[in-house]
Amino acid sequence: MKVRKCKVLVIGAGPGGYVAAIRSGQLGMDTVIVEGEKAGGTCLIRGCIPSKAMIHAAHKFHDLAKHAKEGGHMGISIPGPAELEMAALKGWKDDIVNRLNKGVEQLLKKSGAELITGWAEFKDAKTVVVGEIQIEAEYVILANGSVPIELPFMKYGDGVISSREALDIDEKLEHLVVVGGGYIGLELGIVHRMLGSEVTIVEAMDSVLPIFDKELRRPLELFLKKNKVKVNTGVFAKGVEKLDNGKLKLNYIDKNHADDDSKMQSVEADRVLVTVGRRPRSEGLAPTGVALNERGFVKVNDQCQTNMKGVYAIGDLTDLGEMLAHVASFQGEMVAEIIAGHNRVYDPVAVPAIVFTEPEIVSVGLSPDEAKEAGHPVIVGKFPLAANGRSLTQEAEKTGGFVRVVAREDDHRLLGVQAVGTHVSELVGEWTLALEMGALLEDIAGTIHAHPTMTEMTHEAVLATLGHAIHIA
């Protein structure tokens, strides 16, 4: 067996792993990165990027459908209904993914990191076997990522799919049933509704997206209702049956009558998409000796160090609680620099969270309720998309969205910003930077924001918090 010794070994080439490997290579450390599938990981290959491509395509198709209506839309009309070829749409999405995959591979190569394709089997904390190669490292960065949670009574296969398979559907569905009303299920559900499929959501909680407050959820709930997405909340999925006509029947029951089978309800579907969360891909780590918590996440400190000297873990695998690609990338860069001798810790003031539904929902920092619970004296200001010129020119105001600013009443320190509406995800960079820099309301109020842009809503929401917004009465 060939033996490859290295300074840094990275397991997993997702958004955390490949960034860690690139930065390690840039810092002059002999680096090997092992990936079982394609470089880019869940986010690039089967998550964030392909789903956003599908969302964009769904919006295009939905807009064309408007133009095909009698009288057209915005003065634009087309002679007949828009046609959808799902196989071609999938091919377009796959081209984007392949292009980015090749880009990651080139970046790894340019940095000096060696990419080895195959599944790593640990012999001990710093030794793995990949095919016929044994890799021995001084430092190991675990970036194994996460996988969709599978319900024990509803195994994947035969029409029951995870988000991974949902992004590879090459035919238009008559009816998609989504189990789970979180961000993944809603994003993909709305995509298929915009592409013309009937969509039903089945959610055990009393609302979709329960992590957000009612005010933020309201525009999304109105969109779902207006676009005839059927939403069943407070119900438990109980199992799937295969019907003679090839369809699936999902059985579900109100959680208040969960023990009464006579209350069972059902819905037929072409596919049942299960999106009830993700779990860490921590199986196979036993030989490393790294400590896991009761849910299988790797325990780490504020430098992403595990209990094993020289072994780090980043991203979805860790118990830090934020399963987000941008968090994994940040931690990957940080750990590479720690290994190189830099003084770094993971202690962000705020981490942005985005749901790419229609309308989009964005949150960074504290919500009003969270700020009050933390003991802050709170003031809040809001500005609607309907009062912003750029939003109107993009029809972004139609969903009833807004930007909301949360600050301390006494010293005007910014505590959080939330928004809901079309295109609002692109505004979050300014908010996150302001929070990290400890900005006051006056800092943002005194900053000239370009016109006409949607960033003006941040300025106006801050002015509203101060009590003197210009463009709303």
Among all residues, which ones are annotated catalytic?
Answer: 451
Give the strand pairing for 378-384 and 146-148: unpaired
Is the separation of the CB atoms in 140 and 39 below 8 Å?
Answer: no
User: Angle at CA 282, nearest 5°, toward 277 and 284?
Assistant: 145
What's the per-residue H, E or C state across the chain?
Answer: CEEEEEEEEEECCCCCHHHHHHHHHHCCCCEEEEECCCCCHHHHHHCHHHHHHHHHHHHHHHHHHHHHCCCCECCECCCCCCCCCHHHHHHHHHHHHHHHHHHHHHHHHHHCCEEEECCCEEEECCEEEECCEEEEEEEEEECCCEEECCECCECCECCEECHHHHCCCCCCCCEEEEECCCHHHHHHHHHHHHCCCEEEEEECCCCCCCCCCHHHHHHHHHHHHHCCCEEEECEEEEEEEECCCCCEEEEEEEHHHCCCHHHCEEEEECEEEECCCEEECCCCCHHHCCCECCCCCECCCCCCECCCCCEEECHHHECCCCCCHHHHHHHHHHHHHHHCCCCCCCCCCCCCEEECCCCEEEEEECCHHHHHHCCCCEEEEEEEHHHCHHHHHCCHHHHCCEEEEEEECCCCEEEEEEEEECCHHHHHHHHHHHHHCCCEHHHHHCCCCCCCCCCHHHHHHHHHHHCCCCCCC
List the one residue out of 102, 121, 126, 136 whose CA is nearest residue 13. 102
Reading the block at residue 190, the tokens are 């709305």
